[in-house]
Structure 1
Amino acid sequence: MLELSDGARLTTAIVLLTVVGIESGGFFLLRVGTGRVPATDFQRMFFRAGHAHAGVLVTLGLVCVVLAEAATALTGFWHWLGATGVLVAAILLPGGFFFSAMGAGRTEPNGFRILFPAGAAFLGAGVVTLAVGMLLS
C-alpha cells in the first residue's frame, strides 16, 4: 500500500471534494447548452473549455501528487511544485476561461485572461519538475 504524507493525504482529499464543484459546472454547462442560461457563442466555447480543463487537470494533478510521493526524492519547494503545480493550474486555467467570459453578451475575454499564462506556467513547471524528479530518483 502506498503511504502518503499527511500533506499529500489532505491535498488529495480536498481535491477529490472539488469534483463536486466540477460536477455542478457540468450542470451549469447543460443549462447553457439547452438555452436555459443565455450565452454568446464565445461564452459557450469558453465555458466548455473551462469545464474540460478543470476535469482533466484535477485528474492529472491527483496523479502528480501520488507520483511525487511515490517516485521521487524531491524535497521542499521542488516537491511542492512537482506535487501540486498541476493542481494550481487546475484552478488558474479553468478560472481564466470562466471569469474572462462572465458578463451578459460578452464576445471576447476580459482582464481575467491574465490567468491563462499564469496557469500555463504552473502546468509546465509542475510537470517538468515532477519528470526531472522522477528521472533523478
Structure 2
Amino acid sequence: MLELSDGARITAAIVLLAVVGIESGGFFLLKVLAGRAPATDFQKAFFRAGHAHAGVLVTLGLVCLVLAEATVLTGFWHWLGATGVLVAAILLPGGFFFSAMGAGRTRPNGFRVLFPAGAAFLGAGVVTLAVGMFLS
C-alpha cells in the first residue's frame, strides 16, 4: 500500500472538503439554468464551464497528488507535480466564474487573466509529474 506523506494526506483532506463548495456551486447553477437566478447566455455558459472544470480538475488533482508520492521528485518539483493541477483547479474555474460576474454581463471582464495562469499550472503540473513517473 502506498503511504502518503503528512502534507499529501492533509492536502487531500482539504481538497475533499472543498468538494462541498463545488457541490454548492452546482445548486447555484441549477437555479441559474432553471431561471430562478438571472443570468445572460454568456454567464450561463461560463458558469457551466467553471463548474465542470472545478469537478474534473479536483478529481485529476487528487490523482496527481497520490501519484506524486510514488516518484523521486523532491522540493519544488515534487510540489509542482503533486499540486500543479490543484492550483489550476482554483485558477481556471475562478476565471470562468469571476470573469462572468456582474449583472447583464455578455463578455469576460479582467479576471480572464486567470485562464492562461491556470493553463500554465495545469500543463506544468502534469508534465512534471509525468517526468517524475518516468524517472522513478
TM-score scaled by length of structure 1: 0.99
Query: Structure 2, unaligned stretches of length 5 or more?
Result: none
Structure 1 segment 3-82 matched on structure 2, within 5 A = 3-70=3-70, 72-82=71-81
C-alpha displacement at 1:31, in angstroms? 0.2
| Code of the aligned partner of 1:85 | G
User: How many angstroms apart in 2 are the aligned matches of 1:104 and 1:18?
Assistant: 27
One-letter code aligned to 2:23? E
The alignment status of 1:135 with 2:124, answered yes or no, reads: no
Distance 2:72 2:65 in 1: 13
Opposite residue 41 of structure 1, the aligned amino acid is D
**Hey, what's the Cα distance between the residues in 2 that align with 1:17 and 1:2?**
22
Q: Note the alpha carbon deviations across 1:96-128, whole angstroms, 9 max, x for none.
A: 000000000000000000000000000000000
Q: Identity of counterpart residues, as a percentage?
A: 90
**2:82 aligned partner:** 83
Question: Which amino acid counterpart does residue 20 of structure 1 have in structure 2?
Answer: V
CA distance in structure 2 between the partners assigned to 1:73 and 1:130 by the alignment? 10
- What is the CA distance between 1:2 and its match in structure 2? 1.8
Counterpart Cα distance in 1 of 2:72 and 2:97:
36
What's the C-alpha RMSD, in Å, of the aligned pairs? 0.4
- 1:104 partner letter: A
Shift of residue 12, structure 1, vs aligned partner? 0.2
> What does 1:83-102 correspond to in 2, within 5 Å?
83-102=82-101
* Aligned partner letter, 1:27: F
3-state SS of 2:4 partner: coil
Q: Deviation per CA, 1:6-57, whole angstroms, max 9, x where unpaired?
A: 0000100000001000000000000000000000000000000000000000
| TM-score normalised to structure 2 length | 0.99
